[in-house]
Amino acid sequence: MSCTLDILGDRWTLLVVRDLLLGRTRFKDFAASPEGIPTNILSDRLARLQRHGIAEQIPAADGTKRFAYQLTDKGKALRPALKAIRDWGLQWEKGTQARMETC
């Protein structure tokens, strides 16, 4: 568990993974999430996810020089864990909102 928490064990990283699972792909999309992740932290978390093979940078679909991000198979394998965390919050923490309806 310790090794996994070294990679994913902060609020922001799991929210970026959640956004990737929801189909968000661009830096601006992650930055616009309702939690308001600071851009310097977002850059760091995306780099961490790439270093660990959880996400990868790809050319943007619109043909611009900008990049997009997508989960690797390793990253997609986190879906059940994020669903479990969501479900636990919905059951036990008043005020929890589901933002992974499509995951």
Chain segment 10-40, per-residue pLDDT in tens? 989 999 999 999 999 999 999 999 999 999 9
Helices (H), the chain: 2-8, 11-21, 27-31, 39-51, 73-76, 79-92
Domains of the chain plus CATH, in order, are 2-92 (1.10.10.10)
Write down the pTM of the prediction. Answer: 0.90
pLDDT in tens, 40-91: 999 999 999 999 999 999 999 888 889 999 999 999 999 999 999 999 999 9
Here the tokens at position 54 are 């959880």
> Rg of the chain's alpha carbons, rounded to an integer?
14
